[in-house]
Structure 1
Amino acid sequence: MEETLRQHLSECAAAFEAATGTKPSVVSRRALQDSRYLERVIGGEGFTVRTFDRLVQYLSDNWPSEADDTWPTGVPRPPKTPIAANVDAAAQPEVAA
């Protein structure tokens, strides 16, 4: 199971970088205040499920809405947190009726 989760992190980080140009070290720093976290975990170091969940939630909350279809297939995506969903909705341009 650990290797599966490690693979999920690797796929999500790569897809997020492709969609946003944000390097995994920046994602790690923003999500966990540890710029080397993804590098260490993908390299084989251990991790907790709690930290995995925090990082995947960060990615889901910050995934660009125009790239929703690029979330890695086979990786369960948590719903955006209410605050992130509200910020994302506020960023959408208003459509005249």
Structure 2
Amino acid sequence: MNLRQQIIVVADTFAQARGIGRKRVSTLVLNRGSKLDDIATGGDLATGTFERAMLWLSANWPEGAEWPAGVPRPAFQTEAAE
């Protein structure tokens, strides 16, 4: 599974668990409602954007929802990196 597929699977799982649509997740995470749809149809995103989005999704993951299998979950950074 490539990085684009990973973010779509995670975002769609998040959306389903929260009872919202992909466009709403896209707005919350990427500040652009159409971005996740763009990625799902072959669009690209920068590595930093991917990393920030995955961290946001992990930090805001719905309680009781299972993180998608096969997608590494980012660890929380509780202290500043030295």
Rounded to whole Å, the distance in 1 between the matches of 2:30 and 2:2 is: 21
**Structure 2: 5+ residue stretches without partners:** none
Rounded to whole Å, the distance in 2 between the matches of 1:81 and 1:74 is: 22
Larger radius of gyration: 1
Rounded to whole Å, the distance in 2 between the matches of 1:27 and 1:59 is: 9
Match for residue 91 of structure 1? none
Q: Does 1:75 align with 2:71?
A: yes
Q: Which structure has greater helix proportion?
A: 1
Identity of aligned residues (%): 36
Alignment coverage as a number of residue pairs:
78
Match for residue 23 of structure 2? 25
Runs of 4+ deviating beyond 4 Å? none
Q: Does the 8 Å contact 1:11/1:72 carry over to 2?
A: yes
User: Larger relative CO (CA 8 A, sep 6+): 1 or 2?
Assistant: 2
Superposition TM-score, scaled by structure 1 size: 0.71
- The one-letter amino acid paired with 2:47 is V
- The one-letter amino acid paired with 1:25 is K
